Structures are given as structure tokens and as C-alpha cells.
Amino acid sequence: MSETTASLSGIRNCFGSECVHDGLDLALPSGRITALVGGSGSGKTVLLRTLAMLHEPDAGSVELFGVDAGRCGERRRRELREGIGMLFQGGALFTALTVLENVMLPLQEHTRLRGAWLKELAMSKVLMAGLPADSAGKYPAALSGGMVKRAALARALALDPGLLILDEPTSGLDPISAAAFDALVRELTDSLGLTVIQATHDLDSIWRGSDQVAFLARKRVLAMAPAAELARRDEPELAAYFRGSRSAEYAKLHAGLPTED
């Protein structure tokens, strides 16, 4: 595996006359967890969709697994997409399907597995995501919020991706469930060699659950480094975010810095 799993270069994403990204660069180191943070309107979800090849940028290039996604044929693009697992905000499970059927969908679409082999592989992903075996036959409406996120994670892992993209994976979860999800992502990253990027507002995920933080501001990645390092920088956006009242205790504990009142 190369040192960088995915990279964006010179990305511009515009909607009408309004551009949320302009000249944005980002490189994701292999086998690491990157937290993507930024203020409202900074385009976190748009950036994740650009990485996942679900949104075509107005300018710039997307490189995945050493391949320029904009310069290869459609067959190669499909292969690249199969190397990406994505957990959408809220889980986005199909409500008319059971957990197992949701996980089976990408396997049915992208592999030739059928019958018992298909169900067995899907079940292994359900268990890998930390769900009990009896949850496989349940519908999303019967699941707790944490179980929905884990079911969506199981589906994202179905095709053994090298890049895992998570959009607000712990939003709406209680602190214990959120911490357990962060721990699961860390365990999977270490055991499977995944590269993970997650858009998040969860301070525990940012300060304790990630290896580095990519901070979106001024229509680009303003900085990328561990949270404690970013907390020491003096750019106004970084100081407000990492040394302001919300992050005060984290900055004291992890960065050893005085914080704003």
C-alpha cells in the first residue's frame, strides 16, 4: 500500500455562483483516521462525496489508490468505487430491508456470490460491526440509534474497502455509544489496515478518536495535524475552534494550553 490512500488536488466545488471549495488540497495517509472539521457551510459532506466519486468537482483532481480517477475509464472508476465504503449521515439504511438484506445489497451488485455464501459473508460483516447475530433479521425501525450506525457500518464494510468514509457517524448518539463506536472504528482501522476520514462535530472523536484533523476554512483545508498541534496555532479560525469554550477542557488536557473564557 502506498503512503497515501487518497488525495485531492486543486479542488473547486461550486453551486451556482457560490463556491464552497476553491484550490483545496488534501492527502489521506494510509492506515490512519482523519477527522474532517469546519464550520457550517464549509462543505464537509460535499468534500466526502467528492472523495467517494459521488460528486464531480468543477476543477481539480481526485487520486484514489494511486489512480487518477478523472483520467481512467468507467470500468476502472467502478473498481475504484468498490474500494470505498461510505457511511452516510443518519445511516441511510433501506427501511423495507432487514439489516442482513441491507448488507447483502452491495455484495449482490458487485460480486457473483449467491445463496448461502452471500448470506454468510454478509453476516460476517454484521458481526464485525459489533452487532449481535439476532439483529440481522431486524428492520431498521426496530434498532437503536447506535445499532443503526453499526448496521450502516457493516454495509460500508461489505466489499472490504481500503478507504472508509464516515459522515457524522456519532451524531445523535449518547456519549457511551459514541465512545464505543469510536473504539470500534479504531479497532477496525488497526486490524484491517483501513484509511478512514470522518466528518464530525464530536469533540471526543476529534481529540481522542483521530490521528489528525483536517480543518476546513477559507474554502480549503486550512491546516491538517493532530488536534493538540492545531490548538497551538494562532490562525483565528483554529484558535476559536480549539481553544474556545467548547474545547476548553480538551485543550487544557491534551495541549496544555490556556483557553479563552
Residues 179-210: tens digit of each pLDDT: 999 999 999 999 999 999 999 999 999 999 99
Is position 128 within any domain?
no
Domain count, the chain: 1
Burial class (CB in 10 A: 0-12, 13-18, 19+), 205: buried
The residue range of the domain holding 258 is 226-261
Is position 17 within any domain?
no
Is position 12 within any domain?
no
CA 221 to chain centre: 16
pLDDT above 80 (res 248)? no
Residue in the structure block whose three cell numbers are 450506525:
149
Is position 235 within any domain?
yes
Is position 210 within any domain?
no
CA distance 227 to 214: 9
pLDDT above 70 (res 258)? no
Per-residue burial over 116-148, b if 16 or more Cβ lie within 10 Å, else e, is eebbebbbebbebbbbeeebbebebeebebbbb
**Per-residue model confidence (pLDDT) at position 260:** 59
Q: Over range 104-129, report the average pLDDT.
A: 93
pLDDT-derived band at 111 (thresholds 50, 70, 90) equals confident
**Per-residue model confidence (pLDDT) at position 1:** 41
